[in-house]
Chain A
Amino acid sequence: MGNFLKSTKCKIILFILALLTGVMVYALSVGGYTIRTVDIFKTLTAPFQRASSAIAQRVEYTLDVYRDAEKNYEDNRAVRREVARLNKALADYDRTRSRLEELEAFVGIKEADFDLTLSSPCKVVGYVANDPFGSFMIDRGTKDGLSLWDPIVTELGLVGVISEIGEENATVTTILSPDLSIAAYCGTTRDVGILTGSVALAMDGTCKLQYLDKETLLEDGKVIMTSGENGLFPRGYVIGYVRSVQPDDSGMTAYAVIEPAEDLLHLDMVAAITGFTGKEVETP
């Protein structure tokens, strides 16, 4: 063993360790941008990763069907009741909307457009292994017009933001992560707060809307949307639904547990919002 420490082999190994340290420091210095070689490697492995992810998702789905059969049955009943309630609300909404249109025409108000530019659909290549916050990789990057911190969405709601990007790939941090803070509000009660993730809630697939007034009117099922305050997210994009409201530890404010509108751990296709009215580039 003593001979090894004096040998050329040992010097080669030390050189490689120094080189890896250099690579690590360089990767750290480029911030949220992927090194080109890594980007090429990710592109080459993407089809295989997609195939393995598809198989894994199929297996998870099959297991879930059998494991959660009773829960799914109960959920189904609850959803039917919710659909009936929403249909009733929709009828009211239609009446209110037609009245509003009449009034707008009468007063001459023209509402500002909900102006969004969406990227072409991005395929989810795979999830980051053992990330409790469900970060995932997509098969599009700067070459496709995406930028760092672009919001990632599906037709159901906000998913997260691009936190690392290369020419042909990007990594998305989801709204379950405590690293993200998003200004959000409830369209009906007008409560505003900051949406962020927490370790405990991420285990349950939820996040929280904090700094709410302790007398908040929020209740279960209310829709939470982006408020677009800091110019990082468009205003009025659905984030999720209130599951419960609780006072925080200090007792000065309250927080709401939010269930994301989209199932963040079983995504297949997403899109990036590459442009919207009032967009400003900053770190969320």
Chain B
Amino acid sequence: MTVNSKVSGGRYVALQVVKWILFALLLAVCFLVQTAGSTVKPLLLIPAALCIAAHTGEIPAMAVGVISGLLLDLACGKLLGYNAIWLVVCCVTVSLLHSYLLQEKLVNMILLCAVCTAVQGYLDYVFYYAIWGYEDVSLVYRHVMLPSGIMTMVALLPIYLLVRSIARRCASRRTHELEKTIVRDP
């Protein structure tokens, strides 16, 4: 009995390590894609951070928010900490909502990601363009932020499926059993 529980505990730790390595790799790839080329691109770090946050507790979600936010600041050439603050708030909120109120479903994630991306885009527009009084500033919204936001939402689907797959494959047997019980008897 003792031997079995030790093996199970060791396997659980190993799975958790693998899971977090894969999540870290996902964030790194998202960062590199965001900094590649000069065309308008999706802000992949936002859906990636939110999807990871939905599968973790509040403190790990906060850590994911800090890291993704700082990476987003570097990729977008923004003031260090500017996006990090917003992503910490979003990631912790997503984690709490999934712990207490929401089921882990794509439609929920689409709504949460849309709100997070829209607010991030609006803050960007206001603080980096609108308040400086540039002429024709609405063009930035139409030609850069809106396409980028739409691309971000499109990118949410593969990222969501990937993160869910990683989280499920790396979950312990006990978690699987609990999930099955919840599905059977909600």
A203 vs B31: C-alpha distance when bound (angstroms): 24
Quick one: CB contact mask for B148-174 with A, threshold 8 Å, 1 for yes? 100000000000000000000000000
Q: Do A38 and B80 touch (CB < 8 A)? A: yes
Minimal Cβ-Cβ distance residue in A for B85: A20
A1 surroundings in chain B (CB, below 8 A): 96, 100-101
Q: Which of A1, A35, A130, A199 has the most CB of B within 10 A?
A: A130
> Which secondary structure dominates where chain B touches chain A?
helix
Q: Do B76 and A128 touch (CB < 8 A)? A: yes
B19 within 8 A of A: no
A42 vs B62: C-alpha distance when bound (angstroms): 23
Q: Do B38 and A16 touch (CB < 8 A)? A: no
Number of A-B contacts (CB under 8 A): 122
A52 vs B92: C-alpha distance when bound (angstroms): 31
Q: Do B140 and A24 touch (CB < 8 A)? A: no
Give B83 Cβ to nearest chain A Cβ, in Å: 10
Minimal Cβ-Cβ distance residue in A for B143: A203
A57 with B77, Cβ < 8 A, contacts A48-B32, A199-B139, A203-B139 known: no
Please give the residue numbers on chain A whose beta carbons come within 8 Å of chain B beta carbons, in ascending order: 1, 4, 9-10, 12-13, 16-17, 20-21, 23-24, 27-28, 35, 38, 41-42, 45, 48-49, 52-53, 55-57, 59-60, 126-132, 134-137, 164, 171, 178, 198-200, 203, 265-266
Please give the residue numbers on chain B whose beta carbons come within 8 Å of chain A beta carbons, in ascending order: 28, 31-41, 43, 58-59, 62, 66, 69, 74-77, 79-82, 84-85, 88-89, 92, 96, 100-101, 129, 132, 134-137, 139-140, 143-145, 148
